[in-house]
Structure 1
Amino acid sequence: MDTYRTGDEGRAAQETSFRAHIAIAKRYGKPLVIHDRDAHADVLRVLDDEGAPDTVVLHCFSGDADFAAECVRRGHLLSFAGTVTFANAVALRDAARVTPIKQMLVETDAPYLTPMPFRGRPNASYLIPLTVRHLAEATGADLDELCAAISATGDRVFGPW
């Protein structure tokens, strides 16, 4: 659900589609990957209404520490992109600090959200280490342990690569 660019006229269609995606994920036993932009309360409300599938991933997590804590409490996974490296992303780093490393993933969201110091250029998978290193620094996690946890979570959720 994305209320950043979608006006009131498009929100009902988004919610209907989101509910259908939840049903599909539950029917087929697949992880539900959620795009949530400025719709945190609505995402949780719809998940509560429909019942969340076993695995929920908040793609390109964009919430604050309170939203992260609620997602963690529910057992959801938070996937961080290069935005966590931006100087103005204090709320994202606070969210990462309340996220156990076993509930953390990383992503590029390529070609967007390139981590610093390459912000403004196209993003690609070779830049993921910058995001992971920044997460380790911001959260105080051991880099090797964080890498192992992210890899294990990715294997568990999406299968071995």
Structure 2
Amino acid sequence: MTDKERPPVPERLPVPVVDAHTHLDACGAVTAADVAAMAGRAEAAGIGALVTVADDLSSARWAAEASTWDSRVFAAVAIHPTRTKDFGAAEQSEIERLAAGDRVVAIGETGLDHYWDYSPHDAQEAAFRWHIGLAKRTGKTLMIHDRDAHEDILRVLAEEGAPERVVFHCFSGDAGFARRCLDAGYFLSFAGTVTFRNARDLQEAAKLVPMDRFLVETDAPFLTPHPFRGRPNEPYCTTYTVRYLAELRGQCVEDVASAACRNAENVFRLPSVTA
């Protein structure tokens, strides 16, 4: 296997789960056939549904459309914080239109990114506040991107008043930050980063999250779980993260998978994946 090859499709989970955050278009999907192929590989590994997430206007249009091509696929739409430099009325109107779609289950990913400097912090914050309002108007889940911005994320959520359901996608905090998010009623979604050897603080956070408050995701094509870090990621790799979390938490795989699936169904108001 080379660094350009996808990891092998793992053994199927005993119960299906939901990949709570992926980017099928960035994984190379263009057509309905591409989406079906990726969803099929995921289903073979026990991933019964997935949420494909937008990061710009073009991606949002594609995600909303792709979610109508396959019953296993749902969508989230927003403008990524690193792309908010020119976020104006036209973009807002289009995102609001797309968010009304029946298979669009979340407003995301939105939030703050203090690692990259593609967009000024004030533009990011203004867009984040607008997306929070959209989540509240539509009654849909807010999906948060938080990179090096923990305190400001919590501040803005407190100032605006958080929507009913908030998910920290690819949670990146330590145990202390996890407790603060949990105390506020938020859900934490764990990606392949939790499996990385240098992720001890994140692993401590993952240990303490109650069974009814965590999700699993890939953020594919990025953040492929250990031992395949650096290779292309796809939704089926959620299975590797589920098995790692079970070992980390000292729980059986079936219990962790069942909890992650139930939580995703509740958070995103999905039809039952196990039906």
Structure-1 residue corresponding to 2:252: 142
1:98 aligns with 2:208: yes
2:264 counterpart SS class: helix
Structure 1 residue aligned with 2:113: 2
Out of 67, 73, 80, the residue aligned to residue 183 of structure 2 is: 73
Look at both structures and tell me which one has the larger radius of gyration over its CA atoms: 2
Q: Which residue of 1 aligns with 2:107?
A: none
- Contact 1:115/1:127 (8 A) holds in 2: yes
For structure 1, the 5+ residue unaligned runs are none
- 2:87 corresponding residue in structure 1: none
CA distance in 2, matches of 1:4, 1:137: 31
| Paired amino acid for 1:138 | L
TM-score (norm 2): 0.57
CA distance in 1, matches of 2:134, 2:150: 21
Give 1:63's aligned residue: 173
What letter is aligned with 1:50?
A: E
One-letter code of the match for 2:179? A
Residues of 2 paired with 1:62 and 1:89: CA distance? Answer: 9
The one of 111, 114, 133 equivalent to 2:243 is 133
Q: List structure 1 segments (4+ residues) > 3 angstroms apart after TM superposition.
A: none
1:48 corresponds to 2:122:
no
Choose which of 16, 30, 36 in structure 1 pairs with 2:126.
16
Please report how far the alpha carbon of residue 117 of structure 1 lies from its aligned counterpart in structure 2 after TM superposition: 0.9
State the distance in 1 between where 2:211 and 2:252 align. Answer: 10
The amino acid of 1:21's aligned partner reads H
- Relative to the length of structure 1, the TM-score reads 0.96
SS at 1:36's partner residue? strand
The 2-side partners of 1:143 and 1:6 are apart by: 40
Moved more, 134-143 or 99-108: 134-143
In 1, Cα distance between equivalents of 2:228 and 2:211? 25
Deviations 1:123-142 (A, max 9, x none): 11111111011111112233
Deviation at 1:68, TM superposition (A): 0.5
Percent of aligned pairs with the same amino acid: 55
SS at match of 2:137: helix
- Higher strand share goes to which structure? 2
Q: How far apart, CA to CA, are the structure 1 residues paired with 2:174 and 2:120?
A: 25
Report the alpha carbon displacement of residue 66 of structure 1 after superposing the two structures with TM: 0.6
**Corresponding residue of 1:82:** 192
In structure 1, the partner of 2:224 is: 114
Shift of 1:6: 2.4
Unpaired segments of 5 or more residues in structure 2? 1-111
Read off the aligned partner of 1:133 and give its amino acid letter: R
CA RMSD of aligned residues (A): 1.2
| Alpha-carbon displacement from aligned partner over 1:63-105 (angstroms, at most 9, x marks no partner) | 1111101111111110000010000000110111121121100
Size of the aligned set, in residue pairs, is 160
